[in-house]
Amino acid sequence: MTTRRDVLQTAGRVAALLVAAGVLPEAARAQAAAPWPAAAFETKSVADLMKALGSAAPVESKEITVQGPDIAENGAVVPLGAATTLTGVKRILLLVEKNPNILSAIFELGDAVEPSISTRVKMGQSSNVFAIAMTNDGRVLYAAKEVKVTLGGCGG
Amino acid sequence: MADPMRIRAQSSGSGATVRVLMAHEMETGLRKDAAGKTIPAWFIQQVSASLNGKPVLSAQWGPSVAKNPFLQFNIKGAKAGDKVAITWLDNKGDTRTDEATVS
Amino acid sequence: MSAWRREGLRVALALALAGVSATAAAQGKSAADGIAEYRKMLEDGNPADLFEAKGESLWTTKRGPKNASLEACDLGKGPGVVKGAFVELPRWFADTQRVQDLESRLLTCMETLQGLKAAEIAATPFGRGEQANMEALAAYVSAASRGQRMNLPQAHLQEKVMYEVGKRAFYFRGGPMDFACATCHGEPGKRVRLQDLPDLTKNPGDGIGFAAWPAYRVSSGELWSMQRRLNDCYRQQRFPYPGYASDVTIALGVYMGVNAKGAESIAPAIKR
Amino acid sequence: MKHKTPALAATVIVVAALLAAGCGSMPSSEQLDQQALAVIKGSFRAQGIATMDRLHQDQGQAACSSAQAPSEAIARQIQDNALASVKWPAGGQYLGDWREGEKLAQNGRGMTWTDAAGSANGGSCYNCHQIGKAELSYGTIGPSLYNYGKLRGVADPASPTSAAIVQYTWGKLWNSKAYAACSNMPRFGHAGLLTEAQIRDVMALLLDPKSPVNQ
């Protein structure tokens, strides 16, 4: 019986081997240096997530916006993004409150990237979505909005 | 071998907007097949972007990122002719790198 | 007894007409606006691009027992002409003596040029093996006509016959729910749940209905050609299983395509 | 040999042109009807529970299979037959549980070739109708049923004043063609899509004053 954690650890080892063998490109080497934070991706609440990441609790702020539709025609693909007017943002997190695991994605921003990111996530049901921004000077801020997921088509 | 990504990098204002589509199942590990057997998780965990070889962005993803993932971001100071490279790595150790030129 | 019940119907109808339509319209609008916003967000970055790229590479790759590419395939505008072919399909082909749609024509080319077995591919489940390749090829061929207007030929007798057969199939009611294609697609301005239903008995507009497929289906994360779209329509109609590239599916393609004359093709589109 | 090719090509073009001009003439409307039936029967195959007998049309299905409505006489005949087929509820018990009715209204599953034999069917009601106000995702093929009972003055479904609308609603759910020969609505009771008990639950959703539909 292979557990998910085993698979992940194996993946990490494979990546390390590939890097050692010079098979992985340079960009992937940088990633391999920062391991995939399995514990953070298994949390069910904002509080547990912040604990897993060793971060302070986030404070709601108008300086950050979470971008998503009011209604999603299909939960399989829901556009989700974050943008902020803050400076010195090093990290942006995208969360879906009612998903089996709350964390969808972490973005580590270099100085050359604007703090504005869009991707698409899966949502099992209508839920609040969050964008959390972490700055170099230790601020942790968030914005939230509700996305309604509708049943569509003939439903069969 | 994974199918290639589609990367569009367009200069806009003082930088470039990068839009990426990646061909990947992004299987959550929570679904069951017709026979009731759990379909194992299979998803991109790490993504990184570089501009002319210098890392500018990295990301860690969970299985709730949508199938055939889309990613959009803006690189400050990028100009036409610059090279943007994207690499992803999934939980099975499969990886793919593709490159585009800013237009 | 029955006359009395009919009277009941009249009362019911009068009440229904008087009461509810305003509420429905107000609520429907805000939800519809939300859906429109969602669709707009998805437009920029349609994963159909991934399938289009794969299809383009498949088109030029030497494959099959004959180790040949599809570059000599005649999609109706001469061997190797891809641009503009999609908006004129289905059409009559002299070599096969049949009216063929995009997918059935691709099957012919895969068999004659590459030596692949058309019947085997037609029997393969959607999304697997050569069927996955079919979808990529359909994305590539349709994309080469993006922005052009539907313009199916109707000069050949068999093209006209297939239009008439398609029209009859469109209105054919059957199955345990009494559904025909026309049940959902015979009138303008209707929805199933929140999804707009194009009226396919006439040109429903640019990039709508026949002019939007193949499309990337968000719900399955796959590219669906018109063959797969029709297959799922018939599943939801509770009909038996339509054969892949069977005459009824091709006839429906002729009926919808001719009706859509002048509509701008946006295929491959993105759909729920 | 090569110099012969243009001549050969020319022959092909002439043949094609003849075909294009229509060596045969357009079949009659009746012939096309026959051809369409043959094409339909030849294009489908049984799959799972979706067997080929589903293509065998009854009188109403056949009469309602074109853009033209059937004649008034035929429509009347279809409606009369449909009304005669309605099975009225045992013991005059018309209403069940509106909560179960809402679940059925939401559920669009059943009877497809991907459904297992004997699996429970939904009513698919929201596919075509607005019903409860909380559900934003509703179709518009049928009329809105929001406030269905309230608008029709049903304060007590068991009272004699409500009898006409209660019975009409049962008949409509059991066999929609009783009141409109070519109704788009499935015949839920007649076709065995829903059981008598399930139809009671849908009735309650529409007519029970406590149902959210009537708030």
Closest Cβ opposite residue B91 in set A7, A37, A106: A7
Does A136 reside within a domain? yes
Averages of pLDDT over runs of 10 residues in chain A (156 residues) are 42 44 46 77 97 96 96 95 96 97 97 96 96 96 96 72
Rounded to a whole number of angstroms, the distance from the CA of A82 to the nearest CA of chain C is 14
User: The tokens 């079949």 sit on which residue?
Assistant: D27
Examine the domain organization and report whether A24 and A82 are in the same domain.
no
d(CA D17, CA A9): 68
The whole-angstrom distance between C261's CA and the closest CA on chain D is 20
Does A76 share its domain with A136?
Answer: yes
Q: Which one-letter amino acid corresponds to residue D153? A: G
Which CATH fold would you assign to the domain C46-271? Cytochrome Bc1 Complex; Chain D, domain 2 (1.10.760)
A153 interaction partners in chain D (CB closer than 8 Å): 108
Give the CATH number for residue A133. Answer: 2.60.40.2470
Which is the CATH superfamily of the domain at B6-101?
A: Immunoglobulins (2.60.40.10)
Whether residues A24 and A48 share a domain: the answer is no
For chain B, domain boundaries: 6-101
From chain C, pick out residues whose CB is under 8 angstroms from the CB of A79. Answer: 38, 41-42
Segment B57-86 mean pLDDT = 97
Nearest CA in chain A to D106: A155
Do A71 and C34 make contact, defined as CB atoms within 8 angstroms? yes
Query: Can you give the pTM of this predicted structure?
Result: 0.87
If one counts every other C-beta atom within 10 angstroms of the C-beta of residue C2, the result is 14
CA distance, residue A153 to nearest chain D CA (Å): 7
Residue A57 lies in domain: 44-149
DSSP secondary structure letters along D173-210: HH-GGGT-TT-SS--TTTTTSS-HHHHHHHHHHHH-TT
**With contacts defined as CB-CB under 8 Å, which chain D residues touch C240?**
44-47, 50-52, 54-55, 113
Residues A90/A135, Cβ–Cβ less than 8 Å? yes
User: Which residue in A147, A148, A151 has the most chain D C-beta atoms within 10 A of its own C-beta, making it the best mutation to test that interface?
Assistant: A151
Report CA-CA distances (Å) from A131 to A34, A84, A128, C262, D196.
Answer: 22, 10, 10, 45, 50
Same domain as A140, residue A77? yes
Q: Which residue of B has its CA nearest to C223?
A: B68
Residue C262 has pLDDT above 80, yes or no: yes
Which of B68, B71, B72, B73 should be substituted to probe chain C, the one whose Cβ sees the most C Cβ atoms within 10 Å?
B68
Question: CA–CA separation, A130 vs A92, rounded Å?
Answer: 10
**Cα–Cα distance for residue pair D93/C177, rounded to 1 Å:** 25
Using a CB-CB cut-off of 8 Å, the residues of chain C touching A76 are 218-221
Query: At D93, phi and psi to the nearest 5?
Result: -90, 100
Q: Are residues A6 and A77 in the same domain?
A: no
Query: Which of B58, B74, B97 is the closest to A30 by Cβ?
Result: B58
Give the active site residue among C109, C181, C184, C233. Answer: C233
Shared-domain flag, residues A29 and A87: no
Question: Cβ–Cβ contacts within 10 Å for residue B31, how many?
Answer: 10
* Residue range C121-154, pLDDT digits in tens: 999 999 999 999 999 999 999 999 999 999 999 9
Nearest by CB: C176 against D37, D139, D193? D193
β C195-197/D44-45 pair status: unpaired
Q: Inform me whether the C-beta atom of residue A71 falls under 8 Å from chain D C-beta atoms.
A: yes
Q: Are residues A133 and A94 in the same domain?
A: yes
User: Which ipTM did the prediction report?
Assistant: 0.85
Closest Cα partner for C137 from C163, C158, C116, C151? C116
D30-89 residue pLDDT tens: 999 999 999 999 999 999 999 999 999 999 999 999 999 999 999 999 999 999 999 999
Peptide bond into C214 cis (omega under 30): yes
pLDDT band, very low/low/confident/very high, at D23 (cuts 50, 70, 90): low
Position C90 pLDDT exceeds 90? yes
A13, A77: one domain = no
C73 assigned to active site: no
Tell whether A75 and A115 lie within a shared domain: yes
| Smallest Cα distance from A100 to chain B, Å | 9
Q: Which H or E element spans position A91?
A: strand A89-96
What was the pLDDT predicted at D87? 98
D180 confidence band (pLDDT: 50, 70, 90): very high
Averaged pLDDT for residues C92-107:
98
Domain-located, residue A77 = yes
- Same-domain check for residues A53 and A98: yes
Same domain, A12 and A76: no
- Rounded to the nearest angstrom, the gap between the alpha carbon of residue C91 and the centroid of all alpha carbons in its chain is 15
Check CB contact under 8 Å for A152 and C219. yes
Question: Does C268 sit behind a cis peptide bond, omega within 30 degrees of 0 on the bond before it?
Answer: yes
CA B3 – CA A148 distance, rounded (Å): 33
Mean pLDDT of chain C: 91
Domain boundaries in chain C?
Answer: 1-45, 46-271
**What pLDDT sits at residue C10?**
43
What's the number of domains chain A is made of? Answer: 2
Instruction: Calculate mean pLDDT across residues B69-89.
Output: 97
Contacting residues of C for A152, CB less than 8 Å apart: 193-195, 219, 272
